[in-house]
A and B are shown apart, each in its own frame.
Chain A
Amino acid sequence: MPKRIETGGATVTFTFDGRPVTAIAGDSVASALAAAGITRLRDSVVSGAPRGIHCMMGACFDCLVEIDGIPNRQACMTLAAEGMTVRAQQGAVSVSEGGRA
């Protein structure tokens, strides 16, 4: 389980599946979630197996979450911001002629 090696500093608060998460300013969404002990960020669209952080540098696309209504955002590449609504993902997106369903 990853642990913070630096503490203190200004904090921001966002929610993950409705539950408040406190991040330190400058945290990515992924590092804030990891520090809060949240590991299951989505389920694989293909196998249904749980997925969480892996490379933490934008290469692996494992840590995809829905942020403020937009799915498939890389938690490790997105800065945590005050008031963000982050959700775990299940299933793939659907589209219709009018856009996302």
Chain B
Amino acid sequence: MTRNEAASDTLVIGGGVVGAALAWGLARAGERVTVLDDGDIVLRASRGNFGLVWVQSKGANMFDYARWTRRSADLWPEFAAMIGEETDLDLAYEKPGGMHFMLSETELEAARARNFAMKDVTGPDDYGAEIVDRHELDKIFPGLGPDVIGGSYGHHDGHVNPLKLLRGLHIAMEARGVRYVSNARVESVAKDGAGFAAETAKGRFSAAKVVLAAGHGTTELAPALGLDMPLRPEKGQILVTERCATRLLPMPTHVLRQTDEGTVLIGDSHENTGYSTASYTPVLTDIARHALRCFPALAALKVVRSWGCVRVLSPDGCPVYHASETCPGAFAIACHSGVTLAAAHAMELAGVIASGSFGDRFAAFHPRRFSHAQAH
């Protein structure tokens, strides 16, 4: 069974939020794009994440990442409006700023130091994170628990319904002519004449360029194209309450967010449990306990769902963007915070990929930084 009749400029492998944002952006740049996606059973961070568009604290260890995150947050309002218009879907994107609650002096001091260290990363654009004291917090968050001693407020933070984002990207990319093929797990992808060919359960697909954006699936496909994608799994568990008519949270915090439809999402753990997505009560209990320390009123709400989901993390937690040196036209893109970066991926990175090479961009995100670390 071969379905490679329609020629494509670019094959995007993976239809999660990263692949879909790139496919939409490539189509917007005028390309004919085919997205090859696996089925429902594989790991899919895009379907189990927290939905923050979060700037503060990102890239504390790599300022290029901090600037790129900020760039994406700046693009987000326009991006959300465009996807909204092209799909008639409301992504429930809001940018009210975000708060990171601090429950100890140590945490508060660390946040103060981090905000200070990062205050100039975006130059005159203002990093936009400031420490607020308990008195200020009380004005913003009535009903805060006694253990919260302060917070870090990020002006550029926001949140979105991540499932609507993924759905919106899929509808919008298909409306722009992107061919989406599901249950088409790519078994191998290699150079083929002047372009590339992918072997899938649904036949062979070829194109002039190829972008690996398959989350954890990327690592194994990368070497055949001279690409390197070192990734590690890290589980996060999330709890979801019943819908609540009371607006408890006027803005998202780094572990609590109330959706436009009323539910409160409570996250999230950082667990070294391999590729398992299992959800366990002890961790959920810790998550709930922390949430109640922040907001005792949450005790009145019933939890209706919980899940575990595996993050796509590089060794330093920052994005890995690799344009193949040996097979020009082949790219590998992976990141944690693919929701936050969706706007920059769709509106900037896609355009750079369409040009065929990174040029002098994204040097900081090259995977050579990891081999360098090992060599020392």
Q: B243 at interface (Cβ–Cβ under 8 A)?
A: yes
Q: Are B244 and A92 in contact (CB under 8 A)?
A: yes
- A95-B242 in contact given A46-B261, A61-B305, A72-B302 (Cβ < 8 Å): no
Q: Give chain A nearest CB distance to B116 CB in angstroms.
A: 35
Q: Output the nearest chain B residue to A61 by Cβ-Cβ distance.
A: B304
Q: Are A95 and B305 in contact (CB under 8 A)?
A: no
Q: B297 at interface (Cβ–Cβ under 8 A)?
A: yes
Q: A7 at interface (Cβ–Cβ under 8 A)?
A: no
Q: B248 at interface (Cβ–Cβ under 8 A)?
A: yes
Q: Are A99 and B243 in contact (CB under 8 A)?
A: no
Q: A97 at interface (Cβ–Cβ under 8 A)?
A: yes
Q: B296 at interface (Cβ–Cβ under 8 A)?
A: yes
Q: Which of B142, B243, B246 contacts A45 (CB 8 A)?
A: B243
Interface code A45-73, partner B: CB below 8 Å = 1, 0 otherwise? 11000000000000001001000000110
For the complex, give the distance between the alpha carbons of A71 and B244 in Å.
Answer: 11
Q: Are B299 and A92 in contact (CB under 8 A)?
A: no
Q: Which of B242, B246, B261, B305 contacts A96 (CB 8 A)?
A: B246
Give the number of chain A interface residues (Cβ < 8 Å): 16
Q: Which of A46, A92, A97, A101 contacts B242 (CB 8 A)?
A: A92
Q: Are A96 and B297 in contact (CB under 8 A)?
A: yes
B142 / chain A contacts, CB cutoff of 8 Å: 97
Q: A91 at interface (Cβ–Cβ under 8 A)?
A: yes
Q: How many A-B residue pairs have CB under 8 A?
A: 47
- A93-B297 in contact given A45-B262, A46-B261 (Cβ < 8 Å): no
Q: Which of A45, A71, A95, A99 contacts B248 (CB 8 A)?
A: A95
For the complex, give the distance between the alpha carbons of A71 and B304 in Å.
Answer: 12
Interface code B166-178, partner A: CB below 8 Å = 1, 0 otherwise? 0000000000000
Interface code B37-48, partner A: CB below 8 Å = 1, 0 otherwise? 000000000000
Q: Are A99 and B245 in contact (CB under 8 A)?
A: no
Q: B301 at interface (Cβ–Cβ under 8 A)?
A: yes
Q: Are B300 and A100 in contact (CB under 8 A)?
A: yes
A45 / chain B contacts, CB cutoff of 8 Å: 243, 245, 261-262
User: In B39-65, which residues have CB < 8 Å from any A CB?
Assistant: none
- A101-B246 in contact given A92-B262, A96-B297 (Cβ < 8 Å): yes
B246 / chain A contacts, CB cutoff of 8 Å: 94-96, 101
Q: Are A93 and B301 in contact (CB under 8 A)?
A: yes
Q: Are B296 and A95 in contact (CB under 8 A)?
A: no
Closest 4 pairs (CB-CB, A-B)? A92-B243, A92-B245, A72-B242, A99-B300
A45-B243, A96-B297 are known; give 16 further A-B pairs, CB within 8 A: A45-B262, A46-B261, A61-B305, A71-B242, A72-B242, A72-B302, A72-B304, A92-B243, A93-B242, A93-B245, A93-B300, A93-B301, A94-B244, A95-B300, A99-B300, A101-B246
A-B pairs with beta carbons under 8 Å apart, 16 shown? A45-B245, A46-B243, A71-B242, A72-B302, A91-B245, A92-B245, A93-B243, A93-B244, A93-B301, A95-B301, A96-B297, A97-B142, A97-B296, A97-B297, A99-B297, A99-B299
B residues apposed to A, CB below 8 Å: 142-143, 242-246, 248, 261-262, 296-302, 304-305
